[in-house]
Amino acid sequence: MKLIGVLLAIFGWLLPVVGLGMTSSTGARIVICLVGIGITLTAILKLLLKDHEKVAVWKQ
């Protein structure tokens, strides 16, 4: 789960960076950036955090 979370977070970062070369439309670039940020946040807060919460001290 941690590996998937990390890879997804990196993907969410690289998406808008690579997307710069795919379109020159400012609106499209903003949308791609927001999608990328959303993917990264999901990876961090849903996948990675939930994985750590499984072994949190208050759950034991």
- At residue 1, the 3 state secondary structure works out as coil
Contacts (CB under 8 A) with other proteins, residues 1-60: 2, 6, 9-18, 20-21, 24, 26-27, 29-30, 33-34, 36-37, 40-41, 44-45, 48-49, 52-53, 55-59
| Backbone φ, ψ for residue 21 (5° rounding) | -85, -10
Strands (E) in 1-60, as ranges, are none
Half-sphere CA count of 26, side-chain side, radius 13 A: 0
Using CB under 8 A, list all residues that contact other proteins.
2, 6, 9-18, 20-21, 24, 26-27, 29-30, 33-34, 36-37, 40-41, 44-45, 48-49, 52-53, 55-59
